[in-house]
Amino acid sequence: MLDWDGLRYFLEVARTSRVSAAALRLGVQHSTVSRRIQALERELGTLLFDKSKATGFTLTEDGLRFFAYAEQMEGALINAREDILGQSQTLSGHLRVGSTEGFGNYVLTPLMVDFQRRYPAITLDIMPVPRFISLSKREADIAISLERPQRGPYLCTKLLDYSLKLYGSTDYLARSAPIRSLSDLGKHSFIGYVEELLFSDRLRYLDDIVATDRVIFKSTSVIAQYHAALQGQSLTILPCFMAAQDPRLRPVLDDEIVVTRSFWMHCHEDLRHSNRVMALWDFLKKSVQLNTPLLRGEANSLQYLP
């Protein structure tokens, strides 16, 4: 019989590509993970990983095939545990949600605190990061991204379209040349992204508005851009759900400069039967829809479900 417990070790090494990282996540010694992987490979009669100091543990062709089965077994065990423990009545356990940086800090985090008030037996990890979240590596149970996954065994839904506008601090706009039309923007400087480090083409929007030589401050972080704008030296494009909540920022040419992007929510297909995952899924869907005015720049504060 296959060692079921060995599947946990296999999945963690496959997702982290490092025995040391897998050991840390599993709370065991490095040698224990190595021993378990070797035992599993002996049981299956094949190599599951190619080992390299440079790239770590990379799944072989047999390893990739086994990974798909192991994930299905993991998902079945999770669903069985929830069903047997009756978590449909009292939701408990742990959830991890990853999202884009700005949305994660300014919308998702306060909504997740509200969710935890409703389900105090659930513990949460929130990951607002300026990169894509990998569901295949199980970095999160639910991911919110700028792009719809093109392939993979995922349950996916569009949350909504949101707006970005050009903003400046009240101090900057009071002492700078007036902006009455697009042609006036040539007299101003801007804050933007580091182009070569963009993790998504959906973040390319400043080039359509101003010349690149007018962008004098760049960052990979939208939070850093927001704080730079507050210093009153330049203009920047920000999501309305961030800037509209801060009275120190004002939109510029808000009838002419409106950028529209979308948020997508997705999770691994095998989690659709997880009661706690689906409870959070439905909660986020309803909460974000309730806050459509904020995300489209028509309101200045976050609303909560009754």
The residue out of 13, 40, 63 marking a domain boundary is 63
The answer to whether position 92 is within a domain reads no
The answer to whether position 9 is within a domain reads yes
* Least confident piece of the model among 127-131, 140-144, 205-209: 205-209
Q: How many domains does the chain have?
A: 2
The answer to whether position 21 is within a domain reads yes
| 114 contacts: CB under 8 Å, gap ≥ 6 | 287, 304, 305
Backbone φ and ψ of 49, nearest 5°: -135, 145
Segment 98-118, tens digit of pLDDT: 999 999 999 999 999 999 999
How far is residue 116 from each of residues 27, 263, 267, measured CA to CA in Å?
Answer: 26, 22, 19
The predicted model scores a pTM of 0.73
The answer to whether position 98 is within a domain reads no
Q: Which domain holds residue 14?
A: 4-63
Domain holding 198: CATH number? Answer: 3.40.190.10
Residue that wins the pLDDT comparison between 175 and 55: 175
3-state secondary structure 13-28: HHHHCCHHHHHHHHCC
CA 82 – CA 103 distance, rounded (Å) = 30
